[in-house]
A and B are shown apart, each in its own frame.
Chain A
Amino acid sequence: MFDDHPGDDRRGFLKCMAWAGTGALFAFDGGIASSIGLDGAIAAPVRQSAVQPFSFVQLSDSHIGFNKPPNADARATFREAIAKVQALPVRPDFIIHTGDVSQLSRDQEFDDAEQMLKAAGLPVFFIPGEHDMLDPEGGKAFLDRFGKGSRGAGWYSFDHRGVHFVALVNVADLKPGGMGNLGAEQLKWLAADLSGKSSSTPIVVFAHIPLWTVYADWGWGTDDSAQALKLLARFGSVTVLNGHIHQITQKVEGRIAFHTARSTAFPQPTPGTAPGPGPLKVPPEQLHSMLGITDATFIRGHDRIALIDSTLSA
């Protein structure tokens, strides 16, 4: 299942193109980014790959329970996001939720999120955001409900159609003055988890806070992410999916492509454009254009991932 590829398969380039004005399609293939048109993507050469085509959806930062400007009802917009998943032309295999499921870690918030997600009729893989760690026991409420079978603060991995998925937690045991934190125990686990994998296995890592420093002044990064990225460096295709900052950012470094998703609840300002990272209080008519979902597809013949971000206004 994990065939080795000819070396030139991993020669890096990134394809990026506008997608019907509502988002963008990114075909990740390592280092250098190049923008191509839709026709170009369809005509892209088919290469051998162990990966069977499939797609999954990333939802993030649903903040169920949030009810202040600019969004008086984060439940309603989460429901709209799930309806959007249900309406996708190709049914995804599963959903990942990259954290901040709830606003205040209340049972009712977790319960509502779980009930709403049931409408999608798909398996959901969760990792906690810092808002999901606010119960008196520091995350137990979340883990009891969404973290079954996980280790430590909620990390785990699984394989799907030739792709290795790694769910990391960087919102536990945070240090004064620091940013996100993975911790020694999780890094040790990650090293062991990846050790048996062929370098040609496509890897998808997901975690709540970005695993690269987007903006240190607002804590938008992970202090010890470099140690995790070092463990991932030997793989030919690594996609890192994060949330937390409620806006799309992306970066390619070596063979690792980083991407952050929109929230389904409220947008946050771009780095440094506001006194703090609190909710961006946009007018109601603008809100839906700043919330969204991310559809991730492994294209036939490629071991790379195509990400399509689309907003709730589309």
Chain B
Amino acid sequence: MTRAFKLLTFQAAVLAGSAFVMASVASITRAAPPQSAAVSIENFTFKAPALTVKRGTTVTWTNADDIPHTVVAKDGSFKSKVLDTGDRFSFTFAKTGQFGYFCSIHPHMTGVVIVKA
């Protein structure tokens, strides 16, 4: 029996259990921080210009413009490659603080990620 099948069997057992157990599993899932956030780049703007996240969150930027952009931290802590249409860049914020960033091609485009404990 494969490991995956064993897992499925276990999950099936949980599903077959009481409504109380179901509710508990659901609430545990909800309580866990999502640890991810998204910023769309549209019309030469970062659509969440000020984004607040918990420490450890991975932020993903997606370029929805027909023109390439970049995501570059003002303090140099992260720097994307050139993002063409549809390209993504992710960075995990391990430290708390405020991290200003901009598009190095169109520097009037700015944003900030505020990382809290």
Contact = CB atoms under 8 A, between A and B. Distances in A.
Interface of A: 68-69, 103-105, 130-131, 133-134, 136, 174-179, 216-219, 274-279
Contact of B104 (A104, A174, A179, A218): A174
A209 B82 CA distance: 20
Contacts of A134: 68, 82, 105
B84 A104 contact: yes
B53 to A, nearest CB: 20
B55 interface: no
- Does more than half of chain B's interface fall in helix, strand or loop, or is it mixed? loop
A278 B107 contact: no
- Does more than half of chain A's interface fall in helix, strand or loop, or is it mixed? loop
29 contacts: A103-B68, A104-B68, A105-B82, A130-B105, A130-B106, A131-B105, A134-B68, A136-B81, A174-B105, A176-B100, A176-B101, A176-B107, A176-B110, A178-B107, A179-B107, A216-B108, A217-B108, A218-B108, A219-B106, A219-B108, A219-B109, A274-B43, A275-B43, A276-B44, A276-B65, A278-B65, A278-B66, A279-B66, A279-B67
A110 to B, nearest CB: 15
Contact of B107 (A131, A175, A277): A175
Contact of B42 (A69, A105, A276): A276
Contacts of B85: 68
Interface in B101-117: 101-102, 104-110
Contacts of B62: none
Contact of B44 (A177, A179, A278): A278
A136 B108 CA distance: 21
A104 B110 CA distance: 21
Contact of A218 (B44, B81, B84, B101): B44
A82 to B, nearest CB: 24
A175 B102 CA distance: 9
Contacts of B57: none
Contacts of A277: 44
A82 B82 CA distance: 29
B74 interface: yes
Contacts of A104: 68, 82, 84
B33 to A, nearest CB: 29
A105 B100 CA distance: 26
Given A68-B66, A219-B108, 15 more contacts: A104-B68, A130-B105, A133-B105, A134-B68, A134-B105, A175-B107, A176-B102, A177-B102, A177-B107, A178-B108, A179-B108, A217-B108, A219-B107, A279-B66, A279-B67
Nearest to A181: B107
B68 A278 contact: no
Contacts of A136: 81
Contacts of B66: 68-69, 278-279
